[in-house]
Amino acid sequence: MNGNPTIKRVAIIGAGIAGLSCARELQSHGLSADVYEKSRGPSGRMSTRRTPDWSAGHGAQYFTARDPRFIQEVQHWIKTGSAAIWKPKLKVYEAGVWRDSNSEEIRYVGTPNMNSPGKHLAEELSIQYEATISQMQRRSGKWHLQCNEIGDIPTLYDVVVLAIPAPQSSVLIKDLDDRASRITATAEMKACWTMMAHLPHQLTTDFDAAFINQEIISWICQNRSKPMRQSNLWTIHGNPSWSQENVEISKEDAQDQMLKCLTSLGFNCEDAEISMHRWRYASGGLQNPMNFLLLSDIGLGLCGDWLNGGRVEGAWLSGLELSMALKQMVD
């Protein structure tokens, strides 16, 4: 193995689609991994907000599949009932004009919820939830992890995979490895303010979802147009530049600005119950994708959408390809 560490124990930090894909692929090669996730469930930015009255995907809205490996995976999700094709009536708003979208892309969503594929992948994996890794150190060829909720993690690892956004990876690897630090520092990620508007009645629109250009809002989508959803819930995303510029404003201010924009677009959300969410690292990444990063001499891997063109497909492939590179280290 040319000085590479022997891989017996792998820790994966982050149970988003990249971390889950990496863990699943490692498991299929007989290499089990311990996954640590700071939230209460899997899926990361493919997650679902739940209240007693409604639930809605408030991160990724749909995903596409172009790579044959991901197409095959999505077909498997469809067979197991955790995803389905979504055929929305799509519009585009630009320079004050509404038009039909001419996109013919096949779009998929998780079913019944956006986090369903993640939940499916998480089955049979060893995942510690509510475990935020706050520090990692490499001593005598092993990784020592520290966790906010648990303290020192007793297991020592040969390999650590960071399946988390670049800025969060950057914090963990600061002072540990210059090569990885340089790469995380070049990734640019932008925020996204998300509004969920639950209406007491159905809005009459002649579309299910719309891309909005040149406004502070970039996307509006009727939840019930997606398979297995019923509530009168609209998910609205702020555009990346506006969200990033306004990342530190209060939820109330973000809500006011987005509501004003909605009104100007002809949507009356006066009676709506509004819920806001700020995604600090929603989109973006490396300008020149590199799929994943593996520093085999120190047993450190990085994967995630930000290394591979963004989006759900890129994240899943990044995790898969890193696990295959790790497997080659063992062979």
Ligand X SMILES: Cc1cc2nc3c(=O)[nH]c(=O)nc-3n(C[C@H](O)[C@H](O)[C@H](O)COP(=O)(O)OP(=O)(O)OC[C@H]3O[C@@H](n4cnc5c(N)ncnc54)[C@H](O)[C@@H]3O)c2cc1C
Q: Is 141 left (phi over 0), alpha (psi -120 to 50) or beta?
A: left
CA angle 299, 280, 236 (to 5 degrees): 130
Near ligand X by CB under 6 A: residue from 153, 192, 196, 329: 192
For tokens 């986090």, the residue is 115
- For position 73 contacting ligand X by CB under 6 A, the verdict is no
User: Among the candidate windows 26-34, 59-67, 79-87, 256-264, which touches ligand X by CB under 6 A?
Assistant: 59-67
- In this complex, which beta carbon is closest to ligand X, that of residue 13 or of residue 259? 13
Asked if 115 contacts 46 with a C-beta cutoff of 8 angstroms, the reply is yes
Report how many residues bind ligand X under the rule CB under 6 A: 37
60 lines the binding site for ligand X (CB under 6 A): yes
Binder among 111, 115, 168, 275 for ligand X (CB under 6 A): 168
Q: How far is the CB of 46 from ligand X (least distance, A)?
A: 5
The answer to whether residue 285 forms part of the interface with ligand X (CB under 6 A) is no
Q: How far apart are CA 11 and CA 99, in angstroms?
A: 48
Residue 226 near ligand X by CB under 6 A: no
Q: Which stretch binds ligand X (CB under 6 A): 76-84, 95-103, 221-229, 277-285?
A: 277-285
Among the candidate windows 56-64, 255-263, 267-275, 288-296, which touches ligand X by CB under 6 A?
A: 56-64
- Asked if 302 interacts with ligand X (CB under 6 A), we say no
- H/E element, 198: strand 188-198
Among residues 237, 239, 261, 272, which is the contact residue for ligand X, using CB under 6 A? 237
How far is it, in rounded angstroms, from Cα 323 to Cα 19?
A: 10
Query: Of 44, 88, 117, 301, which lies in the binding site for ligand X, with binding defined by CB under 6 A?
Result: 44
Element (H, E) at 21: helix 17-28
Binding to ligand X by residue 132, rule CB under 6 A? yes
Residue 163 touching ligand X (CB under 6 A): yes
Kindly state whether residue 16 participates in binding ligand X, applying the rule CB under 6 A.
yes
Residue 208 interacting with ligand X (CB under 6 A): no
* 246 to 275: interface string for ligand X, x by CB under 6 A: ------------------------------
Binding status of residue 65 toward ligand X by CB under 6 A: no
Bond from prior residue into 112 cis (ω within 30 degrees of 0): yes
Dihedral angle at the C-alpha atoms of 81, 219, 306, 77, nearest 10 degrees?
A: 10
CA distance 38 to 70: 26
Listing DSSP states for 23-45 in one string gives HHHHHHTT--EEEE-SSSSS-GG
193 binds ligand X (CB under 6 A): no
Complex with ligand X: residue 4 or 215, whichever CB lies closer: 215
Stretch that binds ligand X, among 80-88, 220-228, 244-252, 309-317 (CB under 6 A): 309-317
Classify residue 96 as left (phi > 0), alpha (psi -120 to 50) or beta: left
Residues 288 and 267 sit within 8 Å (Cβ to Cβ): no
Window of 26-34, 92-100, 246-254, 307-315 that interacts with ligand X by CB under 6 A: 307-315
> What is the separation of C-alpha 224 from the centre of its chain, rounded to a whole number of angstroms?
22
Closer Cβ to ligand X, 175 or 270, answer by number: 175
If binding is defined by CB under 6 A, does position 165 make contact with ligand X?
A: yes
- As measured in angstroms, the least distance from the Cβ of 241 to ligand X is 14
Q: Is residue 61 a contact partner of residue 235, using CB atoms and an 8 Å limit?
A: yes
Token readout for 87 is: 């055929």
Contact 194, 277 (CB under 8 A): yes
Residues that bind ligand X (CB under 6 A): 13-19, 36-39, 44-46, 59-63, 132-133, 163-165, 168, 192, 194, 237, 279, 282-283, 304-305, 310-312, 315
